[in-house]
Amino acid sequence: MDLYIDTANLDEIKQAADMGVLDGVTTNPSLIAKEGVDYSTRLAEICKVVEGCATGAPGPVSAEVIATDYEGMIKEGRRHATIAGNIVVKLPCTLDGLKACKTFSDENVPTNLTLCFQPLQALMVAKAGAFLVSPFIGRLDDIAQDGMELIAGIRQIYDNFGLPTKILAASIRHPLHFVQCALAGADVATVPFKVIRQVMQHPLTESGLEKFVADYNKAFGT
Q: Tell me the closest approach of the beta carbon of residue 135 to ligand E4P, in angstroms.
A: 10
| Distance, CA of 55 to CA of 165 (rounded, Å) | 19
Q: Is 31 exposed, middle or buried (0-12, 13-18, 19+ CB in 10 A)?
A: middle
Q: What share of the chain is helix, strand, coil (3-state, %, to 5)?
A: 50, 15, 30
The pair phi, psi for residue 61, each rounded to 5°, is -120, 115
Active site residue 90: yes
Closest CB to ligand E4P among 142 and 210? 142
Q: Is 58 exposed, middle or buried (0-12, 13-18, 19+ CB in 10 A)?
A: middle
Closest CB to ligand E4P among 103 and 190? 190
Q: Tell me the closest approach of the beta carbon of residue 148 to ligand E4P, in angstroms.
A: 14
DSSP E strand stretches across 55-192: 61-64, 87-92, 111-116, 132-135, 166-169, 188-191
Q: Tell me the closest approach of the beta carbon of residue 181 to ligand E4P, in angstroms.
A: 12
Q: Tell me the closest approach of the beta carbon of residue 84 to ligand E4P, in angstroms.
A: 18
Q: Which residues bind ligand E4P (CB under 6 A)?
A: 6, 26, 28, 114, 134, 136, 138-139, 170-171, 173, 190
Closest CB to ligand E4P among 6 and 109? 6
User: Among the options 34, 75, 90, 211, which is catalytic?
Assistant: 90
Closest CB to ligand E4P among 76 and 222? 76
Residue type, 23: D
List, by residue number, the catalytic residues: 90
